Amino acid sequence: MQSTARDFKHNAHEALVDPNLQDSLSKLKVGFSERRRQAAERLPEFEALRDRARDIKNHTLANLDFYLEEFERKVIALGGHVHWAPTAEDAQRIIADLCKSVDAKTIAKSKSMVSEEIGLNDHLEALGIAPIETDLGEYIIQLRHEPPSHIIAPAVHLTKDQVADTFYEHHKALGFTKRLTERNDLVAEARYVLRQKFLEADVGLNGANFLVAETGSSMLVTNEGNADLSNTLPRMQIVLASIEKVIPTLEDAAVLLRVLARSATGQESSAYTTLNTGPKRDGDLDGPSQYHVVILDNGRSSVLGTKMQDMLRCIRCGACMNHCPVYGAIGGHAYGWVYPGPIGAVLTPQLIGVEEAGNLPNASTFCGRCESVCPVRIPLPGLMRHWREREFEQHLTPRAVRQGLALWSFLARRPKLYRRLTQLANRMLATFGKVEGRYRSLPLASGWTRFRDLPAPQPGGTFHSQWARQRSRTRA
C-alpha cells in the first residue's frame, strides 16, 4: 500500500473538517471503549490474564525461531505446506504462484491486515485474479476503493447512509434497484451477494490471529463467519501470517483469546474462533484439499533484541486506537498507511521507515490511555518517544522545531536567564491582555490562536515566582 504518512498534518486537517467522518467517530468514542470497560469489570481475573498474555508473548519472541520451526514441522506432518517470505514481494509472488497453480479466477478473502501491508489485492488484480473481500467492512471499502481505517472495524469511518449509497451504486448491476435505509437490510444484501462469491471462489485466503506451534494450527477469530466459509468451501486455503503470530500451545491461546475479544469489542467471546490444521482428511465431506501457510517477516526480525521488541507482542485488538484522543479526532486514514492509532505510530516507522512516517509518533499527547488498556501491556508512549528521539537524531525534524528546541534547551540550562525572560513575557502578556483576559490572536502563536483563545496570565506572576514567595512565607 502506498503511504501518505508524510502528509499526516494535511490529512489530519482534512479529517477534522469532514462531517461524515466526525459523525462516525463520535460513535466510536462511546462504543468500543465503554464495552471494553464493562467486559474487563465482569472478569475479576482480567488483569492477571493481561500479565500472563504479556509473558507468553515475551517468551515466544525470545524463542521465535524454535516455535516457527516447530509450527512448520507440525503443518507438514499433517499434509500442509509452509512458505517463507522475507519480504512483501516474496509473499506476493508465493501467493500469486499458488493461485496460478489451481487456475484461480476468484479468491474469497477474509480480513487480513498483513495482506494490506503487502498490497496483495493490487498485485493479484494486475495478474487477472479477482480478490473478493468478504468481511462486511472490508467489502464496503473494497467497493469504495478505500483502505481500512481501523484494524478490526475497517469501515468505522463511514455512516450508514454512505454504505447505502455505495451498495445502491454497485449492486444495481446485480438487480438490486432499491436504495436501502435499514442496517439489517444492508447486511442481508451483502450476505446474498457474497454468498455467491463464496460458492464460486477457487481459493480462500485469510490471515491468522495465532499460529499454534504445538499443533500446527492457524487460529482465526471473527464474528461474521466469513473467514470460516472462505476456508471451508474453496479447494485451496492460504493463510498469510507474520512471524510474530506464532504462540507455543493451545493453553497459551486460551489466555490470549480471553483478553483479545474483551479488549477489541468488549465481547466475552467472538462468535467464531476456528482452528484449521492441514487439508481435509480422508472421509471428510468438505474442506480444502490444499492447505498453505505463508510466513512473512518484512522487517520484523530486525526488531527482536532491540528496545522496540515490545511492539511485536501486539495481538491487533485495536483497543489502543479505540481509546486514543488523536485517533478519535482524526480517524485512521490520516495516519496514511495500514496500521493507524498508537500501534500504527510505533509499527509504521519500523515497517516503512522513520523518514516516511516520522510524523506519526509525534501525533500523541502521551496521555497513556493506550498503554493502560493494551492487553499485552505494550509501553506505547515509551516506544513513540523512542521514535521521536530517532527522528531528532537523524535530523528529520523541521528546522523551526529544531531551532525552537535548541533555544529552549539553551534557556533551560540557564535557570536565572530562563526565569528573567519568562517573568518578562508573563508581565507583558498580563498587561496587554488585561481588558479581555484572553488573546484572540498572537504573533508566533497562530497555531494555537487559530482554533482557540489564549488565556492571559492571571495576576501573581509565573509559577516560579509564586513558588519562591510561598516558600519564603512558610519559612518566616
Partner 1 sequence: MSDARSQILNGIRRSLHRGELSGAARTAVDQRLADPPHGPVVARAQLPQPEKVALFCQWAEANNATVARVAAPEVPAEVSSYLARNNLPAAAAMAPSPLLDGYDWASQKMLSLRRGRAEASDQVSITGAFAAIAETGTLVMTSGPDHPVSLNLLPDTHVVVLREADIVSGYEDVWALLRARYGKNTMPRTVNTITGPSRTGDIEQAMELGAHGPRRMHIVVVRE
Q: Which is nearer to partner 1, 4 or 273 (CB)?
A: 273
Question: Cell for 45?
Answer: 481475573
Site track 121-160 with partner 1 (rule: CB under 8 A), x = hit: -------------xxxx--x------------xxxx-xxx
Decide: is 253 part of the binding site for partner 1 (CB under 8 A).
Answer: yes
Please list the alpha-helical segments (H only) found in 336-398. 341-352, 354-357, 369-373, 380-393
Please give the Cα distance from 101 to 107 (Å, whole number).
13
Site track 272-291 with partner 1 (rule: CB under 8 A), x = hit: xxxxxxxxxx-xxxxx----
Q: Which is nearer to partner 1, 249 or 470 (CB)?
A: 249
Q: Which is nearer to partner 1, 69 or 393 (CB)?
A: 69
Q: Measured from the CB of residue 228, what is the shortest distance to partner 1 in angstroms?
A: 5
Q: Which is nearer to partner 1, 41 or 472 (CB)?
A: 41
Decide: is 27 part of the binding site for partner 1 (CB under 8 A).
Answer: yes
Question: Cell for 398?
Answer: 523541521
Among the listed residues 269, 372, 466, 470, the single contact to partner 1 using CB under 8 A = 269
Q: Measured from the CB of residue 245, what is the shortest distance to partner 1 in angstroms?
A: 13
Q: Which is nearer to partner 1, 172 or 195 (CB)?
A: 195
Which contiguous run of DSSP H or E holds residue 292? strand 290-296
Residues between 33 and 72 that touch partner 1 (CB under 8 A)? 43-45, 48-49, 52, 56, 59, 62-70
Residue whose C-alpha cell reads 520451526 in the numeric block: 69
Residues between 75 and 114 that touch partner 1 (CB under 8 A)? 77-78, 83-86, 90
DSSP of 275-317 = EE-SSPPTT-SSS-SEEEEEEE-TT-GGGTTSTTGGGGG----
User: Strand, coil or helix: what is 207?
Assistant: coil
User: Strand, coil or helix: what is 274?
Assistant: strand
Please give the Cα distance from 335 to 327 (Å, whole number).
9
Closest by CA to 288, choosing from 340, 357, 236, is: 236
Please give the Cα distance from 360 to 341 (Å, whole number).
9
Q: How many residues bind partner 1 (CB under 8 A)?
A: 107
Q: Measured from the CB of residue 119, what is the shortest distance to partner 1 in angstroms?
A: 19
Decide: is 297 part of the binding site for partner 1 (CB under 8 A).
Answer: yes
β-bridge mates for residue 210, sequence order: 219
User: Strand, coil or helix: what is 61?
Assistant: helix
Among the listed residues 117, 228, 371, 391, the single contact to partner 1 using CB under 8 A = 228
Q: Which is nearer to partner 1, 155 or 373 (CB)?
A: 155
Phi-psi region of 203 (alpha: psi -120 to 50; beta: other; left: phi over 0): beta
Among the listed residues 3, 4, 33, 223, the single contact to partner 1 using CB under 8 A = 223
Tell me whether strands 130-133 and 203-206 are parallel, antiparallel or unpaired. unpaired
Among the listed residues 114, 163, 326, 346, the single contact to partner 1 using CB under 8 A = 163
On whether the CB atoms of residues 25 and 256 are closer than 8 A, the answer is no
Please give the Cα distance from 3 to 355 (Å, whole number).
12
Q: Measured from the CB of residue 279, what is the shortest distance to partner 1 in angstroms?
A: 7
Q: Measured from the CB of residue 274, what is the shortest distance to partner 1 in angstroms?
A: 5
Phi, psi (deg, nearest 5) at residue 250: -65, -35
Q: In the chain, how many H helices and how many E strands?
A: 22, 12
Closest by CA to 18, choosing from 302, 334, 285, 235, is: 334
Among the listed residues 6, 18, 31, 328, the single contact to partner 1 using CB under 8 A = 31
Residues between 177 and 206 that touch partner 1 (CB under 8 A)? 183-184, 186-188, 190-191, 194-195, 198-199
Closest by CA to 229, choosing from 132, 153, 353, 151, is: 132
On whether the CB atoms of residues 210 and 254 are closer than 8 A, the answer is no
The C-alpha angle 48, 52, 56, rounded to 5 degrees, equals: 170
Q: Measured from the CB of residue 460, what is the shortest distance to partner 1 in angstroms?
A: 48
Q: Which is nearer to partner 1, 7 or 146 (CB)?
A: 146
Residues between 327 and 386 that touch partner 1 (CB under 8 A)? none
Q: Which is nearer to partner 1, 285 or 435 (CB)?
A: 285
Q: Which is nearer to partner 1, 178 or 183 (CB)?
A: 183
Q: Measured from the CB of residue 306, what is the shortest distance to partner 1 in angstroms?
A: 7
Q: Measured from the CB of residue 188, what is the shortest distance to partner 1 in angstroms?
A: 7
Q: Measured from the CB of residue 27, what is the shortest distance to partner 1 in angstroms?
A: 6
Among the listed residues 305, 353, 404, 415, the single contact to partner 1 using CB under 8 A = 305
Phi, psi (deg, nearest 5) at residue 169: -65, -45
Please give the Cα distance from 43 to 218 (Å, whole number).
27
Binding window for partner 1 (CB under 8 A); candidates: 293-301, 397-405, 415-423, 462-470: 293-301
Residues between 229 and 248 that touch partner 1 (CB under 8 A)? 229, 231-233, 243, 248
